Structure 1
Amino acid sequence: MPTRVAPAVPPFEPEVATIIDRTMKGQPPLHLFATLARDSRLAKKFFAGGLLDKGNLTIRQREVVIHRTTALCRSEYEWGVHVTAFAQHAGLTPEQVHSTAAGTAEDACWTPEDRVLIRLCDALHETCDIDDGLWQELQERFNENAIMELLMLAGFYRTVSYLTNGLRLPLESIGARFPV
């Protein structure tokens, strides 16, 4: 299925080019980034909203949430990019990566903390809310700032999934594919 919006062609607006170059570390831009570069305002807002910096979460916590959220939203594009770029660095095993897309929080591969994160993603995806029991479990493991970051992270990657799916972005050649 062809993309619905053609990506911008370099050279990009200088400020956007700088942001993309810093993010891509010398590699060609991802389809998503080149498409957003069509509108410098949207591109700057998108990059300003990202949560890939050092915050209240470990890379593992962050990636469990991103992998699960994008898988639930059926964004093979974004799930695949994050699996390729971050799964190994986050310490996710092949079984855990598989489970983010095709498993449950009860899969044997998950730690108790991972299970809470998976259940958080599932609850947000299904109801856009967190019941009191899950909230209590989150509070036992995370401080309030980390919980707010988890909510923002899941919401941001739901938005990214809307973009990748709605624009029909072609899968990145470097990206992992959903398990069959």
Structure 2
Amino acid sequence: MRVLGIDPGLTRCGLGVVDGTPGRPPTMVAVGVTRTPATLETARRLVQIEEAVEAWVREHRPDAVAVERVFAQHNVPTVMGTAQAAGIAMLVAARHGLPVALHTPSEVKASITGSGRAGKDQVGAMVTRILRLTAAPKPADAADALALAICHVWRGGATARVDAALQAAAVASARQRRAFTQARPSRGAS
């Protein structure tokens, strides 16, 4: 499975592509950061992010996209920019028919380091170790994007199987209800 991990941000948006399957060490395909100038109006910055994510999807052809789930912060302008960038990432993935998974920062940290409270340095060190790199990707947004992709490879397969099982159970339940309803005699029949 090839996963494009996206650490959304209006100023810096981390992008990382990983190939892997659960139970095997993943490999890095590409990593980078797209930057937008703070002096540019927000709409133009979002266009630049969209163009960058679009280019990465076309070049690397991922099977899935993993985006960091935006969580509430006290800094509203930062959260707004992050949410807008995340929306752009999801839009590009949807345009290409790719499944999108949202992972919380603590979920990613726990998956990569074993602790949901790990610091950025710990995440970078573990990404370096897991992918057998010679140095941690810089800036931290790049390492975070790779961590998202790794997390999805490791957890995404299980999540997809659970979702498929739930969907199959819902379909089976609906069939049983229809069969029961059709087999029941109507109340007015003698």
**TM-score normalised by structure 2 residue count:** 0.28
Whose Rg is larger? 2
User: Relative contact order (alpha carbons < 8 A, sep ≥ 6): 1 or 2 greater?
Assistant: 1
**TM-score normalised by structure 1 residue count:** 0.30
Greater share of strand = 2
